[in-house]
Structure 1
């Protein structure tokens, strides 16, 4: 999958000045577009949804969602995933959830879960979702890849590969990949 790297910095979706402070690094498939983005100052949450170019956030087959809690959350990545699992099971009685992995990447705690619902109350479709939560020092991050149908093996493998590439870095800690937008 060809990937164009996008950077979401603390408050603004920006490319202009390079990396500064804590950053989530993630790729967007070349055939996706921004379907929706917002910042809620009350909750300090930045939220963006990306869908295939020919689809919308109201009618999608795949969706990539990035959530940034700018004031951080007072919970670990594992607790976030446990909360998502509990919420998912309340919303969809015949759901299935499985924690895929947890640990540290680039010095940050993360957890990854797979969730399944035979009929989502939101999309009214079958839904398979993978969520990677990362506990930063400044903010909390959740990256979600969802399918509104059963993904095939290649899509599952691609999703897992994709989520392994999502990472957090901080220019103050000097743990950002060299050569990305001005990092030396």
Structure 2
């Protein structure tokens, strides 16, 4: 990953704002109707994902062929959170013909199931295209989450995208009341959450181009 990390950009680019607007915060631009997006060079491509209001990036790391970025509500952290938006990248995995977006997503759901075999539930949302790339979306949940020592439930909508060379995932998870039995999955609710993470966009990395990556933003 490019060491510059993520960039937050406005749909109406700040560089064209009047000088009097220079002191405005991201939230003030949002209130005026601008959308805020995160843009990150992750291995072979730029990944653009809308950045929902009230979230902050709490952790970002690249280790070998894996990239991860976690965002949580402003007053929370990566250990104690009610919601988390996670972006991951897996270098060169798209070159493996045995891996598909569906098999990757199902394998992630299987991780949930192994963690909470008696309270697991899952629901496929659909297979299709995201940014003209093959993709698959599902919801997975644990009624009793081992990540919080059984104090909460945990559920997430997970999108897996096959890039030109790499795989990417975008997840929106939330924790709630604990349940000894599998959670009922509200497809409408999770579909709406996923819509808030769209439009997701993958772009080629242009040699010599720096943030805010105008070739992709525009």
**TM-score, normalization: structure 2?**
0.67
Aligned to 1:5: 37
Rg larger for: 2
Could you tell me whether the CA contact under 8 Å between 1:70 and 1:140 is conserved in 2?
yes
Is there any run of 5+ residues in structure 1 with no aligned partner, and where? 12-20, 173-179
Moved more, 150-159 or 51-60: 150-159
For the residues of structure 1 that align with 2:170 and 2:51, how far apart are their CA atoms?
11
CA-based RMSD of the aligned residues comes to 2.7
Q: Does 1:62 align with 2:104?
A: no
Aligned to 1:15: none
1:153/1:86 CA distance change after superposition, 3 Å:
closer
- How many residues in Structure 1 have an aligned counterpart in Structure 2? 166
Aligned to 1:106: 131
Match among 140, 147, 164 for residue 122 of structure 1: 147
Aligned to 1:182: 214
Deviations 1:23-73 (A, max 9, x none): 2110222311111111112xx111011001100111100000000112225
Match among 156, 161, 170 for residue 195 of structure 2: 161
Report the structure, 1 or 2, having the larger helix content: 2
Q: Does 1:28 align with 2:51?
A: yes
* Structure 2 counterparts to residues 70-109 of structure 1, below 5 A: 70-73=91-94, 74=96, 75-93=99-117, 94-109=119-134
Deviations 1:107-137 (A, max 9, x none): 2100001011111111342111100000011
Bigger RCO (CA 8 Å, 6+ sep): 1
**TM-score, normalization: structure 1?**
0.79
Aligned to 1:140: 167
For the residues of structure 2 that align with 1:153 and 1:90, how far apart are their CA atoms?
22
Q: Does 1:131 align with 2:139?
A: no
For the residues of structure 1 that align with 2:141 and 2:68, how far apart are their CA atoms?
22
Could you tell me whether the CA contact under 8 Å between 2:157 and 2:172 is conserved in 1?
yes
For the residues of structure 2 that align with 1:78 and 1:137, how far apart are their CA atoms?
16
Moved more, 26-35 or 107-116: 26-35
- 1:5 CA displacement: 0.6
